[in-house]
Amino acid sequence: MHGTETDEFSRALPELDSVKPVYLDLPPLYGAELTTRRLHRPMEKFVEYLEDEMKVSVSIVSMGEERTATHQRVA
């Protein structure tokens, strides 16, 4: 918006026709299954990205409906 980046959508609403979206290309997570006690590196990086963006700590990651598909992350 006017050459600056904002994460406040409501601030951009009055000028929505003139704003340009910012995209982030992330690597695909195909095959990022929980096959061991650890998350695959691409999945771990994705979770770290979400933590940084949302300013939260993610302690549990579920990769499916089975209990064995749940990973408890170490802080």
* Contact predicate 7/22, CB 8 Å: no
Tell me the residue range of the domain where 59 lies: 9-72
Looking at every residue in the chain, the average pLDDT score rounds to: 78
Domain count, the chain: 1
- Is residue 43, in this structure, part of any structural domain at all? yes
pLDDT digits (tens, 9 = 90+) for 21-56: 778 888 777 766 656 667 778 888 888 998 998 899
CA distance readout (Å), 8 to 24, 27, 50, 51, 53: 17, 26, 17, 18, 13
User: Does pTM top 0.85 for this prediction?
Assistant: no
Give the rounded percent of residues in the chain with a pLDDT score beyond 70: 84
Q: What is the H or E stretch that residue 9 is in?
A: helix 9-12
Q: How far is CA 74 from CA 47, 58, 61, in A?
A: 12, 9, 11
